[in-house]
Structure 1
Amino acid sequence: MQLIRLKVWGPRALFSRPEMKVERVSYDVITPSAARGILEAIHWKPQMVWRIRRLLVLNPIRFESLRRNEVGSKIPAGKVTAAMRAGSTEGLALHVDKDRQQRAATLLKDVAYVIEARIELTAKGRADPAESVQKHLEMARRRAAKGQYFHHPYLGTREFACDFELLEGEPLQPHESLMGERDLGWMALDLDYAVGMEPQFFRARMVDGVIEVPAPGDEGVVA
């Protein structure tokens, strides 16, 4: 199977649990959707889609609390649609100073992961004889090796940017504290864009620092 292996790391990360409505609380580890976002920041085309196969946790899982400034509201989608039809941005402004809220967040600190992923062609890619999985995989590897990206990859939220490097050769080993089996509970897998961006979840289990990620539609994946 043709794969890419990417190491990512950073001082802080926040992979928000969707069930926490007010305060942001991170999952214990990186989510597959966050990993996909990192890969798409490096290489993405409409003819392909990234599928996360495996996540390797390298550093001990440690949390810290932090208070962050956030905007308390967002512009309704209906107003955006109306403004696009009218060709005017009137009424779309948000006054940050008037709508700022300070909220607590439970973050991860000093994180490092290995993302193992493959590429699938979309219907558009399969219809074009010039497209191939190998072509996009080689492009992604070249860009990762050179440190190139479309926008800076981040760990869950944009304020927590991450470094990355392409991995080749022998696999890295997780910290000894991650040995054994750990049930991480239900974790967000990704969004199903075919049915209106419906979220999908899977039961995440970490064995010796490794999390096997199912594909959408596999047994055990629920909406």
Structure 2
Amino acid sequence: MKNTSILLRLWGDYACFTRPEMKVERVSYDVITPSAARGVLEAIYWKPQIRWCIDRIHVLAPIRFMNIRRNEVSSKIAVNGPRKSMKDGKGRLGIYVDEDRQQRAAIVLRNVEYAVEAHFELLDKSEHPKKHYEMFKRRVEKGQHFQQPYFGCREFSCNYEWQDPAEISHCPESLQGQKDLGYMLHDIDFDEECTPRFFRAVMTDGVIEVPPFHGNEVLS
């Protein structure tokens, strides 16, 4: 493992890693996406001098889906609306939830548990990697975070703890063998006008190898 590598155990009651091809109802991917895992790490420890990269995802609990209904707003705030209101000095700057609420069905995951292997890259070469590694580990052990980590939706909170590689649980029997999960969102390329990038996720005995973000296996 690299000297910037970490292993974190994540678990929670519910999760929803929404497939982008579903336009109305939310339908979750089978497992956590690399971008969602990165979001958990950044919620715990984010610094402009480093960039988190997900290397491997261990699925430690059987994949179970359930149907729920959630309250959501039915519209978005257009960019030009607040600008015009601020220029004119009148108008609405936001959305009133009570007037814009609607119920939508969602297919979510329940009782999820993962072990995420990741490392960070230094964006500032004057920084020392050990400093950031120790600060991250200390924050994990104390349960500190900048904001509550969550699994896809903010109401689905994520628990976390430092994981010893020798203590990773064996994958459930239902996950043994090889399973093709299809194309999965890797992350968003913010340098290319927020372009989503995807990779072919294959789970082998509960483990998904995540290719490098700019590797040949990742497609726009």
- TM-score normalised to the size of structure 1? 0.92
Tell me by how many angstroms 1:176 deviates. Answer: 1.7
Provide Cα deviations, 1:4-56, integer angstroms capped at 9, x if missing partner: 11101011100000000001000000000000000000001111110000000
Supply the distance in 1 between the matched residues of 2:90 and 2:170 (Cα, whole angstroms). Answer: 52
Q: How many angstroms does 1:74 deviate by?
A: 1.1
Query: CA–CA distance in 1 between the matches of 2:179 and 2:28?
Result: 17
* Superposition pairs of residues 30-179 of structure 1, within 5 angstroms: 30-81=32-83, 86=87, 90-122=91-123, 125-126=124-125, 129=126, 131-170=127-166, 171-179=168-176
With over 3 angstroms needed to count, the CA separation of the structure-2 counterparts of 1:15 and 1:88, relative to structure 1, is farther
Give the distance between the partners of 2:18 and 2:144, measured in 1 at CA.
27
**Uncovered stretches (5+) of structure 1, i.e. residues with no partner:** none
* Aligned residue identity for 1:193: F
The count of residues paired between Structure 1 and Structure 2 equals 217
Tell me the TM-score normalized by structure 2. 0.94
Partners of 1:17 and 1:106 in 2: CA distance: 10
Runs (4+) off by over 4 Å? 80-84, 86-90
The one-letter amino acid of 2:35's match is: S
Aligned counterparts of 1:13 and 1:74: Cα–Cα separation in 2: 23
Identity among equivalent pairs (%) = 52
> Using the alignment, how far apart are the partners of 2:91 and 2:132 within structure 1?
42
Give the 3 Å change call, closer, same or farther, for CA 100–220 of structure 1 in structure 2.
same
Q: 1:120 to 1:83 in 2, by over 3 A?
A: farther
Cα deviation, residue 90, structure 1 = 4.6
The Cα shift of 1:169 comes to: 4.5
The offset of 1:215, in angstroms, is 1.1
Is the 8 Å Cα contact of residues 199 and 218 (structure 2) preserved in structure 1? yes
Inter-partner Cα distance in structure 2 for 1:44 and 1:217: 21
| Shift, 1:89, TM fit | 8.4
Classify 1:81/1:8 alpha carbon distance in 2 versus 1 (closer, same or farther; 3 Å): farther
Deviations 1:139-161 (Å, cap 9, x if unpaired)? 11110111110000000110100
Q: Once superposed, what is the RMSD of the aligned Cα atoms?
A: 1.6
Instruction: Judge conservation of contact 2:7–2:165 (CA < 8 Å) in 1.
Output: no
Aligned to 2:6: 4
Structure 2 unaligned blocks of 5 or more:
none
Q: Residues of 1 paired with 2:90 and 2:109: CA distance?
A: 38
Aligned 8 A contact 2:57 2:116 in 1: yes
Alpha-carbon separation, structure 2, partners of 1:87 and 1:51: 45
Deviations 1:46-95 (CA, angstroms, capped at 9, x unpaired): 111100000000000010000111000111123345567x5978521211
Match status 1:190 vs 2:182? no
